[in-house]
Amino acid sequence: MTRTETILLACLIVLVIIFGGVYASLTSSINALSKSISELSSKVDELSGKVNTLTGEVRKLPEAIRGVVPPPTPPTPPTPPAPPAKLGEFHFACGWPKPPAYHGNPFGPGGVGGAYWFIYEPLAYYIPANMTFIKALAESWETKDTSLVVHLRKDAYWHDGKPVTSKDVKTTWALVGAVWARRTWQFIKSIETPDDYTVIFHLTIKPSPLLQVMLLTQPILAPDHIFGKFTDRALEVIELAKKVWALQAAGKEVPEDLMTEYKDKRTALTKDVREIKPGLPVGNGAFKVVKVTETEMLLEKFDKHYLANKIMFGKIRAYYWTANEVVWSYLMAGKIDCAHPATPPDVVKQILATEPRMHHILVTDLSQFAIAFNLRIKPFSDINFRKAIAYAVNRVKMREVGYFWALDTPYAHGVLPSMQSIWLPEDVLAKFTKYEYDPKKAEEILRAAGYKKGPDGYWRTPEGEVIELEVTCPAGYSDWVLALDELVRQLNEFGIKAEARPIPNPTFWPTAHSGKLGMHLNWFCGWAGTGDPYTGYYDLFFGDRSKDTGVGTGANGLGLVNKEFDTPWGKAIPAELMEQLLVETDPEKRKEIVWKLAYIVNENLWEIPWAEKRLQIFYLDGVRATGWPAPTDPVWTLYPGGAERLMYVLITHGVIKPVVTG
Amino acid sequence: MLWRIIKRIIYAFFTIFLSASITFFLIYNIPGSVVDIIAAQLAEEMGVPFEEAKEIALTYYVGYDPNKPLLERYVEYILNLLTGNLGRSTIFRVPVTEVIVKALPWTLFVLSTALLTSFAIGVLLGLIIAWRRRTILGPIVTAYASFTDAMPDFVTAMILYIVLAVRLKLFPMKGAYSESLTPGLYPDFILSVLYHATLPILAYVVEHVGFWALLMKGSAASVLEEDFVKAAVARGLPERRILTAYVGRVAILPVAVMLAIQLGAMLGGSTIIETVFNYPGIGYFFAYATQNLDYGLMQGLFFVIIVGIVVANLVIDIIYPLIDPRVRREAGRL
């Protein structure tokens, strides 16, 4: 061989070795994975056991904590040790508008991305699992008749050095009301700012605990010195919005000129607000954004923050959340400290095996998945048909196929299964119908209602028509698509001709809201934001779900929300119960209202839940950060609807600390 | 000769025009709508009904009127191209050229390095295995090429990523350079750029070396049968001289044409490799534009690729007769 040949051969051998090594490594990984699959079920059982214990622990929380809305004074956070000389770095994953689109305006398209909870603080944080507040920009607050008076802390600053004042609170509320159409404004008459550090919310009703949660947990994100020029216009838009909402709620037609004026003014305002592009956001949180690229966002500690001396992390590094698969690789490599990608059991196993310091816990997402019906059309308008579906479909199987880590429920009452014991005692629950998988019972119900099974094995309506269903779901939700296939398979097995049709997300929701879908997979009674059943029932009776099913009022609604229903506790109208639930301050009385609502929802089966979504939270202990709270700690319920909110609270209160090296 | 070049340039313009027109119509026939995507986002952000969000999206965000006849939009697009305006990105809300200028240097750096490296190694390997047919090197290279050819790009990229970046943590998992550095011409930054580019380059080289080797082997094998090679052997010329000055010089011509085309196509980036390694080149933005149905950006990027390929072909057309006398003679007869 010549020298050239030898060199070339050497190069080739190197390439083959690299490739071979890589291939061998992958093969060994696959083998290891295959071996571990057999261990998986035991691990999963173990995990389920732990989760059950967790649920049990939460349920055992003293009634005094769970049932009573706490006074405004929050628990004293643990005193952290003095910050080390060298501050730590915390990593997580999130999304943001990629540069050059990044603008730094929270009202702009895509907002400020995952930095949101690190850079904007609310007046207070609320922990749904134990119904307590953690104070943030508010130093204290009190209720006075139909007002909520909030006293701001005097040592909070915006990242450009200006103090946070009551005007900032007013401007924020004006803009979230006008630009984001925040419906909380239907209970706000006006916002008064008697001095720089006092805000008075004048309300249309008494400031119930639920309303306090709504008002106090809104992040203050619009500095008056930047957005203040829009406040008056925003308030004008809100007044128009209130008129529109009131007419819509009463099921009345909104005059065209009113609607046009509202839309035009709102659109023009939105456009002008979005024109503001500071580049990097001006926040008031303990961290400020200093750099944004396509793949990484860097935040640094804000030294003027009132908790600065307690914070032991100097930098927060965010990796771009391209896809769950990418986040899995970050977790395996120990690159991020906390994330919640939906992850199948085998991948969970692989992540935990690759990075032993990684932990995996399940926390309710405060949301539920359901089989929903368009009640305007046959056969879904028939309660017997809906009941038959509830018994004919094995929803546990759907959950196993679609979202393994979710929680099952044999009920359809709308209260989250994980919160069921708090709101619905056993004796109350005993009055509710349980819908467990029982195909024989489903057949009996259908036959009693006049449905017949033909010689071809398919069910026919009382009118003799073969039942043929097209069952839909958003195509972008891969877990729902899997569950949909399972649902359709089971329906066909039961004798109902069904076909699955996932619809692209942008088309699915508008089609659902316009009442054009039949049987479909949908959200059901989610409590995100407040951790309160009111939020879930609001969505079912007045929100998007009311449009999808037809439960609500309006031109396309059946008005079931205003219908009288029988309950074991007397007759009741959902709309009236909702009003009572909103204003009632006595926790026990609130529970009694929930019993009635839950009973109505359970017995009418407008939607049949097949899973309560639980977030799979991965956290890395001992690499960059340590001191994570126990999996049973109620603080984890800050995570749903704001993963970074929990990370922020833990970091700023010194709960998690940097790992000391060297 | 001059007339021939002018003719080629005219053909090139025509090809660009035709390809740009076809891609325009193809892009606008992709199922789904960017208006719906933005409207869905706005509806969620603003809490407004979808139809209202759609109106807002059309008025302020989309940058074109979907109700305008397609032909009218096409004329507008072509006129814009003539003035150097590649359009506007719907998602990034900036001119397409801004995105291209930002991403192109990374793509050019990674792909040109990878392409030229894989070309150099592949061509030499191909030449050797064509010349020395009875050595073990031939079957090894052929097996390697068959294996990498059968293996999709993304699998190779994922394997390298998982093993070298995730498991062994030898290489970074994302980006073109360390975010803690400010871009500039200083050693730390340059080293960081090289470090971040290693895996994407390696993935490309591993995947393409075999291709170039087989291409060169095929080309060289046919040249080896030529009389001038036999004559050179009979004259007792050194092996290396025959291989480089006789066989290599002729056999490389068709392979070089392929290289030129690949260099042109390189402007489009390598979507899969850049996406797997989170490398912010043209391919990365291409994938992002496709996911979000950003017609403006897709059109702009397609146009850049078309121009790249056509110009590469034009250059080859013009210089090929200069380096290959046989083609010069053929061209002379035409």
* Residue-wise pLDDT tens digits, A338-374: 999 988 899 999 999 999 999 999 999 999 999 999 9
Query: Do both A648 and A609 map to the same domain?
Result: no
Contact between chains at B46 and A507 (C-beta distance less than 8 A): no
* Residue B287 at interface with chain A, using a CB cutoff of 8 Å: no
Contact between chains at B99 and A182 (C-beta distance less than 8 A): no
Q: What value does the mean pLDDT take over residues A226-236?
A: 97
Residues 101-130 of A with CB under 8 A from B: 101, 109-111
Contact between chains at A4 and B128 (C-beta distance less than 8 A): yes
Query: Which residues in chain B are closer than 8 Å to A294, comparing Cβ atoms?
Result: 175, 278, 280, 284
- Nearest-Cα distance to chain B for A58, in Å, is 32
Burial class (CB within 10 angstroms; exposed 0-12, middle 13-18, buried 19+) of A181: buried
Burial class (CB within 10 angstroms; exposed 0-12, middle 13-18, buried 19+) of A468: exposed
Query: Which residues in chain A are closer than 8 Å to B208, comparing Cβ atoms?
Result: none
A52 confidence band (pLDDT: 50, 70, 90):
very low
Q: What value does the mean pLDDT take over residues A521-530?
A: 90
Residue with tokens 């690789």: A329
Q: Which of A2, A12, A347 would you mutate first to test chain B, the one with the most B CBs within 10 A?
A: A12
Q: How far apart are CA B81 and CA B79, in angstroms?
A: 5
Instruction: Encode pLDDT of A162-215 as tens digits.
Output: 999 999 999 999 999 999 888 899 999 999 999 999 999 999 998 988 899 999
* Residue A555 at interface with chain B, using a CB cutoff of 8 Å: no
pLDDT of residue B114: 94
Q: How far apart are CA A392 and CA A442, in angstroms?
A: 5
Compare B26 and A398 and report the one with higher pLDDT.
Answer: A398
Residues 311-330 of A with CB under 8 A from B: 317, 319-320, 322, 326, 329-330
B47 confidence band (pLDDT: 50, 70, 90):
low
A226 confidence band (pLDDT: 50, 70, 90):
very high
Q: Which of B144, B167, B182, B291 would you mutate first to test chain A, the one with the most A CBs within 10 A?
A: B167
Nearest C-alpha neighbor of A448 from the set A458, A462, A436: A462
Q: How far apart are CA A248 and CA A254, in angstroms?
A: 7
Nearest CA in chain B to A12: B141
Instruction: Encode pLDDT of B77-120 as tens digits.
Output: 899 898 888 988 888 888 999 999 989 999 999 999 999 999 99
Q: Name which of A182, A263, A271 is nearest B60 (Cβ-Cβ).
A: A271
Compare A180 and A218 and report the one with higher pLDDT.
Answer: A218
DSSP sequence for B241-273: HIIIIIIIHHHHHHHHHHHHHHHHHGGG--HHH
Cite the DSSP H helix spans in A60-131.
Answer: 63-67, 116-119
The CATH number assigned to the domain holding A321 equals 3.40.190.10
Nearest C-alpha neighbor of A124 from the set A220, A60, A28: A220
A558 confidence band (pLDDT: 50, 70, 90):
confident
Judged against a pLDDT cut of 90, whether residue B151 lies above it is answered with no
Query: Do both A333 and A384 map to the same domain?
Result: no
- Residue A35 sits at the vertex; the CA angle it makes with A30 and A39, to the nearest 5 degrees, is 130
Query: Which residues in chain B are closer than 8 Å to A515, comparing Cβ atoms?
Result: none
Query: Do both A572 and A652 map to the same domain?
Result: no
pLDDT of residue A45: 43
Query: Do both A296 and A403 map to the same domain?
Result: no
pLDDT of residue A475: 85
* Residue B159 at interface with chain A, using a CB cutoff of 8 Å: yes
pLDDT of residue A12: 52
Q: What value does the mean pLDDT take over residues A532-539?
A: 93
The CA dihedral of B284, B288, B290, B291, to the nearest 10 degrees, is 140
* Residue A179 at interface with chain B, using a CB cutoff of 8 Å: yes
> Whole domain around residue A326: which residue ranges?
285-357+621-658
Query: Do both A415 and A536 map to the same domain?
Result: yes
Which residues, at least 6 apart from A198, have a Cβ–Cβ distance to it below 8 Å? Answer: A149, A150, A151, A152, A166
DSSP sequence for B28-97: TTSSS-HHHHHHHHHHHHHT--HHHHHHHIIIIISSS-TTS-HHHHHHHHHHHHHTT---B-TTT-SBHH
pLDDT of residue A60: 39
Q: What architecture (CATH level 2) is domain B104-333?
A: Orthogonal Bundle (1.10)
Judged against a pLDDT cut of 60, whether residue A98 lies above it is answered with yes
Output the six-digit token pair for A295: 């793949």
Nearest CA in chain A to B142: A12
Query: Which residues in chain A are closer than 8 Å to B55, comparing Cβ atoms?
Result: 263, 267
pLDDT of residue B273: 86
pLDDT of residue B125: 93
Q: Name which of A2, A8, A317 is nearest B125 (Cβ-Cβ).
A: A8
Judged against a pLDDT cut of 80, whether residue B124 lies above it is answered with yes
Query: Which residues in chain A are closer than 8 Å to B124, comparing Cβ atoms?
Result: 4, 8
Q: Which of A294, A358, A544, A547 would you mutate first to test chain B, the one with the most B CBs within 10 A?
A: A294
Nearest CA in chain A to B280: A294
- Nearest-Cα distance to chain A for B317, in Å, is 32
A 10 A CB-CB count for B83 gives 6
pLDDT of residue A258: 95
Query: Do both A378 and A295 map to the same domain?
Result: no
Nearest CA in chain B to A547: B49
Q: How far apart are CA B91 and CA B34, in angstroms?
A: 9
Of A201-215, B58-72, B212-226, B311-325, minimum mean pLDDT range = B58-72
Query: Which residues in chain A are closer than 8 Å to B93, comparing Cβ atoms?
Result: 101, 109
A453 confidence band (pLDDT: 50, 70, 90):
very high
- Helix/strand/coil for B198: helix
Query: Do both A376 and A338 map to the same domain?
Result: no
Q: How far is CA A223 from CA A15, A22, A105, A230, B226, in A?
A: 57, 53, 11, 11, 80
Q: How far apart are CA A207 and CA A147, in angstroms?
A: 6
Query: Do both A128 and A171 map to the same domain?
Result: yes
Q: What value does the mean pLDDT take over residues B271-278?
A: 86
Give chain A's domain count.
Answer: 3
- Nearest-Cα distance to chain A for B26, in Å, is 20
Output the six-digit token pair for B325: 């006398």
Residues 8-67 of B with CB under 8 A from A: 32-33, 36-43, 45-52, 55-56, 59-61
The answer to whether the Cα torsion of A125, A126, A129, A132 is positive or negative is positive
Instruction: Confirm whether A48 is domain-assigned.
Output: no
B45 confidence band (pLDDT: 50, 70, 90):
low
pLDDT of residue B64: 67
B73 confidence band (pLDDT: 50, 70, 90):
confident
- Domain end marker among A233, A254, A274: A274
Q: How far apart are CA A311 and CA A300, in angstroms?
A: 11
Nearest C-alpha neighbor of A215 from the set A146, A285, A157: A146
* Residue A254 at interface with chain B, using a CB cutoff of 8 Å: no
pTM for this predicted structure: 0.77
Residue with tokens 């993935």: B203
Q: Name which of B140, B163, B179 is nearest A291 (Cβ-Cβ).
A: B179
Q: Name which of A8, A295, A326 is nearest B124 (Cβ-Cβ).
A: A8
- Nearest-Cα distance to chain A for B37, in Å, is 6
Instruction: Confirm whether A507 is domain-assigned.
Output: yes
Strand-pair category, A520-524 with A358-372: antiparallel
pLDDT of residue A225: 97
Q: What value does the mean pLDDT take over residues B238-259?
A: 86
pLDDT of residue A13: 57
Q: How far apart are CA B73 and CA B78, in angstroms?
A: 9
Judged against a pLDDT cut of 80, whether residue A430 lies above it is answered with yes
pLDDT of residue B60: 67
Mean pLDDT of chain B: 86
Instruction: Confirm whether A609 is domain-assigned.
Output: yes
Q: How far apart are CA A546 and CA A555, in angstroms?
A: 12
Query: Do both A434 and A582 map to the same domain?
Result: yes
pLDDT of residue A465: 94
pLDDT of residue A56: 44
Q: How far apart are CA A35 and CA A30, in angstroms?
A: 9
Query: Do both A541 and A641 map to the same domain?
Result: no
Q: Which of A102, A238, A295, A511 would you mutate first to test chain B, the one with the most B CBs within 10 A?
A: A295
* Residue A62 at interface with chain B, using a CB cutoff of 8 Å: no
Nearest CA in chain A to B35: A506
Instruction: Encode pLDDT of B187-207 as tens digits.
Output: 999 999 999 999 999 999 999
Q: In what order do the strands lie in the sheet with A147-152?
A: A138-144, A147-152, A198-203, A188-195
Judged against a pLDDT cut of 80, whether residue A535 lies above it is answered with yes
Judged against a pLDDT cut of 50, whether residue B11 lies above it is answered with yes
Highest mean pLDDT among A39-43, A385-389, B292-296: A385-389
Strands (E), A130-182: 132-135, 138-144, 147-152
Query: Do both A609 and A654 map to the same domain?
Result: no
Q: Which of B51, B93, B102, B164 would you mutate first to test chain A, the one with the most A CBs within 10 A?
A: B93
- Nearest-Cα distance to chain A for B225, in Å, is 21
Decide: A233 and A265 in contact? Cβ < 8 Å: yes
Which residues, at least 6 apart from A253, have a Cβ–Cβ distance to it below 8 Å? Answer: A247, A555
Q: Give the total residue count for chain B.
A: 334
pLDDT of residue A357: 96
Judged against a pLDDT cut of 50, whether residue A140 lies above it is answered with yes
The CATH number assigned to the domain holding A483 equals 3.10.105.10
- Domain end marker among A274, A294, A323: A274
Query: Do both A162 and A197 map to the same domain?
Result: yes
* Residue B128 at interface with chain A, using a CB cutoff of 8 Å: yes
Query: Which residues in chain A are closer than 8 Å to B148, comparing Cβ atoms?
Result: 19
Q: What value does the mean pLDDT take over residues A647-652?
A: 97
Instruction: Confirm whether A473 is domain-assigned.
Output: yes
Q: Name which of A5, A9, A267 is nearest B56 (Cβ-Cβ).
A: A267
The CA dihedral of A246, A250, A254, A259, to the nearest 10 degrees, is 30
Query: Which residues in chain A are closer than 8 Å to B294, comparing Cβ atoms?
Result: none
* Residue B94 at interface with chain A, using a CB cutoff of 8 Å: yes
